[in-house]
Amino acid sequence: MAEEKKTNAAPAKAVAAVKKDETELGFFQKIGKWFREMKSELKKVIWPTPKTLRNNTLISLGMMVASAIVIWGFDEFAQMVVRLIFRLG
């Protein structure tokens, strides 16, 4: 039979379970905790500089105008096709 490899690994140490605080927070304590956590998270946000914000806004507006023109063009083309079909029919 195949030889079994024996490892000399130490047995896993027992890990003490972390005891969860079983006290339920009150309504206003929950609200206070929520605001504290929100403030903490907002500190982590990387806010854009005014220049970056302006550039992104202009790019977004430009893309919206371009999309509107393309959709308008397709709509005009579809209207021409429908009018042509009605004239032939």
**Chain mean pLDDT for the chain:** 87
Kindly give the residue spans of alpha helices, DSSP state H, lying in 1-89: 27-44, 50-88
| Residue 24 C-beta-side C-alpha neighbours within 13 Å | 2
Q: Mean pLDDT throughout 42-64?
A: 96
Q: How many CB atoms neighbour CB 52 within 10 A?
A: 10
Q: Mean pLDDT throughout 63-81?
A: 98
Would you kindly state where each structural domain of the chain is located, as residue ranges? 27-88
DSSP category for residue 8: -
